[in-house]
A and B are shown apart, each in its own frame.
Chain A
Amino acid sequence: QLQLQESGPGLVKPSETLSLTCTVSGGSISSSSYYWGWIRQPPGKGLEWIGSIYYSGSTYYNPSLKSRVTISVDTSKNQFSLKLSSVTAADTAVYYCARHAQADFQHWGQGTLVTVSS
């Protein structure tokens, strides 16, 4: 059974870079035809797609975050990662990693809360 688990600091200072890793178990991150994505949810608010990486390494980002986002994959560790630079309080959210085919985010991690505060 495919499982995803987010990890990383729960507290990041303003203007610094948020870094999270998603570890995949029960399946290979190199599986063809799947994307590996990041979605976030500010406290009490809705979901926002941040970006995704294809198994081949191609990356796709939300236009509103594109200038600050980098998603990468480490196939040797079966992990993919998110970096979000120049964070502000508006980036405080629960960050989820997920696997999707086209538009169906079927497998999600449990989510990790990242707070941006000095």
Chain B
Amino acid sequence: QSALTQPASVSGSPGQSITISCTGTSSDVGGYNYVSWYQQHPGKAPKLMIYDVSNRPSGVSNRFSGSKSGNTASLTISGLQAEDEADYYCSSYTSSSTLDYVFGTGTKVTVL
């Protein structure tokens, strides 16, 4: 069970759009529509931003969107704002026989 691969860092200017990738295998990201994304500010617990590939929980800005193609999922943040600067983690369900989850390596988003 290897961690999903994310870029270590992504940056953008306020108002721009950025995309974070999350690459797995056919046993996790590619095999199920159970990819979620989490935002984590320093010293805080993660916050769910996207679930089931592209669904937003109530209260999450529509500037955040998710998608998936093959074994790679993506999180797009549009209209980048200073408060979006944080670490982002993807996660995927990864088993058909039991419950099992794997997280991504994490991406630091910097707002320039």
Contacts and interface: CB of A to CB of B under 8 A. Distances in A.
Interface of A: 35, 39, 46-49, 52, 60, 62-64, 96, 102-106, 108-111
B35 A109 contact: no
Contacts of B91: 47, 49, 103, 105
Ranked nearest first, the 8 interchain pairs of A and B with the lowest CB-CB distance are: A104-B51, A60-B99, A103-B34, A108-B45, A49-B101, A47-B103, A103-B93, A46-B106
Given A46-B89, A103-B35, A109-B45, A63 B51 contact: no
A104 B52 contact: yes
Contacts of B106: 46-47
Interface of B: 1, 3, 32, 34-36, 38, 44-48, 51-52, 57, 89, 91-93, 98-106
A104 B48 contact: yes
A108 B46 contact: yes
Contacts of B34: 102-103
A63 B45 contact: no
Given A105-B46, A108-B46, 12 more contacts: A46-B104, A47-B38, A48-B103, A52-B99, A60-B100, A63-B1, A96-B45, A96-B46, A102-B34, A103-B35, A110-B45, A111-B45
14 contacts: A46-B103, A47-B103, A60-B99, A62-B1, A63-B100, A64-B1, A103-B32, A103-B34, A103-B36, A103-B52, A105-B36, A105-B38, A108-B45, A110-B45
Contacts of A110: 44-45
Contacts of B101: 49, 103
Contact of B92 (A52, A64, A103, A111): A103
